[in-house]
Chains A and B, each alone.
Chain A
Amino acid sequence: MSKLPLEKKVLSENDRIAAELRARFAEHNILCLNLVSSPGAGKTTLLERTLEGFPPGERVAVLTGDIQTDNDARRLARFGFPVKQITTGGACHLDARMVERALAEWRLEELDLLLIENVGNLVCPASYDLGEAAKVVILSVAEGEDKPLKYPAMFFRAELLVLSKIDLLPHVPFSMASARENARRIHPGIEILEVSSATGVGLDTWRQWLDARRRAALAAATADVTPSRTAAG
């Protein structure tokens, strides 16, 4: 009997495809964000408000994942930007292969922002890298403020927490302070924004965050292609 050491990631095949996607996004200066939340936290509505705010011709596209129906793609397509539905047919998360397939018909050189709306689920999407620059987790105030403690994997991996539906605060027993504290216990460096897609409060801050990330992605890409003095000798 022998024991063969393996020491490889269980999802190494997914990670390999995700790394290829990440390289393609970098090559085309695309900022890719992976939006995750439980069902009904307001991912699609936040995306509607986001697309609505872009001028025509903005180089943005959306992939939206659901187990069934193309309802979200139809909601998002009316803004005139490329939108594609990924119907997982049962799978509770998107994986890198699904994203790769969905992108096959798009010309990446025509994009500089790709927003991926994952399947509504605070557990499984945490394990699957899609090649994104960052995960954005959305938590509505209609949910519990202890969600970060109950679903630590997701909050640990997300760079930004968007606390959504803040217009409902007067009607629900939700403590902003403890939601923030819980998120920071899991992930001390997580950035946190508060928005209401219904009233528009906080959307400016979200757009500023998005713009800053897009500028940073572009700056990193420019730095990559500019030969440095040391490299040139």
Chain B
Amino acid sequence: MHELSIANSILDAVRAEGARRPGTRLLKVGVRVGELSGVAPDSLSFCFDALVTGTDLAPLALEIETRPRRQRCPECDRTFRVVDYDVTCPDCGETETRCIGGDELEMVYLEMEEP
């Protein structure tokens, strides 16, 4: 249950951006969560809402974009989405493929209303 700490980190960054823009109403923050990030999107939303409710940041919303794991094959350069943990290249059968996405835990945007 580190989603509470993660939600707190997001809000720290949001507050810092807000402080730089006095008078701005912060509406929504967009976050990208990869399936390998170890963060559960539902739990993150729950913690985020719990932290925001009743504070000066309310009714700030959280939008989570989830990302699947993607691999690249070093033999044939094919990139593919991993299904059922299978990292084998669907084209040439190479098993030692490299992860190129799915471990993201990033803030993407902050939506706001300027005064």
Chain A residues packing against B (C-beta within 8 Å): 1-14, 91-93, 95, 123-124, 126-128, 149, 151-154, 156-157, 182, 185-186, 188-189
- Closest Cβ of chain B to A28, distance in Å, is 29
DSSP class of A's interface residues: helix, strand, loop or mixed? mixed
Could you tell me if A93 and B2 are in contact, using CB atoms closer than 8 angstroms?
yes
Chain B residues packing against A (C-beta within 8 Å): 1-2, 5-6, 9-10, 12-13, 17, 27, 29-31, 35-39, 85-87, 95-97, 99, 103, 105-114
Select which of B103, B105, B111 is within 8 A of A2 by beta carbon.
B111
CA of A40 to CA of B2, assembled, Å: 20
Could you tell me if A7 and B105 are in contact, using CB atoms closer than 8 angstroms?
no
Q: Known contacts A1-B27, A2-B111, A153-B38: does B17 contact A188 (CB below 8 Å)?
A: no
CA of A128 to CA of B105, assembled, Å: 11
Could you tell me if A123 and B106 are in contact, using CB atoms closer than 8 angstroms?
no
Could you tell me if A10 and B6 are in contact, using CB atoms closer than 8 angstroms?
yes
For residue B86, which residues in chain A have a CB less than 8 angstroms away from its CB? 185
CA of A92 to CA of B2, assembled, Å: 7
Could you tell me if A5 and B105 are in contact, using CB atoms closer than 8 angstroms?
no
Could you tell me if A1 and B108 are in contact, using CB atoms closer than 8 angstroms?
no
Q: Known contacts A93-B2, A185-B87: does B111 contact A3 (CB below 8 Å)?
A: yes
Could you tell me if A9 and B38 are in contact, using CB atoms closer than 8 angstroms?
no
Select which of B37, B96, B108 is within 8 A of A6 by beta carbon.
B108
Q: Which 3 A-B pairs have the closest CB atoms?
A: A153-B38, A124-B2, A126-B38
Select which of A3, A13, A154 is within 8 A of B38 by beta carbon.
A154
- Closest Cβ of chain B to A156, distance in Å, is 5
Could you tell me if A10 and B105 are in contact, using CB atoms closer than 8 angstroms?
yes
For residue A92, which residues in chain B have a CB less than 8 angstroms away from its CB? 1-2
CA of A8 to CA of B106, assembled, Å: 6
Q: Which of B27, B107, B113, B114 has the most CB of A within 10 A?
A: B107
For residue A185, which residues in chain B have a CB less than 8 angstroms away from its CB? 85-87
Could you tell me if A127 and B111 are in contact, using CB atoms closer than 8 angstroms?
no
For residue A128, which residues in chain B have a CB less than 8 angstroms away from its CB? 2
For residue A157, which residues in chain B have a CB less than 8 angstroms away from its CB? 103
CA of A189 to CA of B105, assembled, Å: 23
For residue A13, which residues in chain B have a CB less than 8 angstroms away from its CB? 9, 12
For residue A12, which residues in chain B have a CB less than 8 angstroms away from its CB? 13
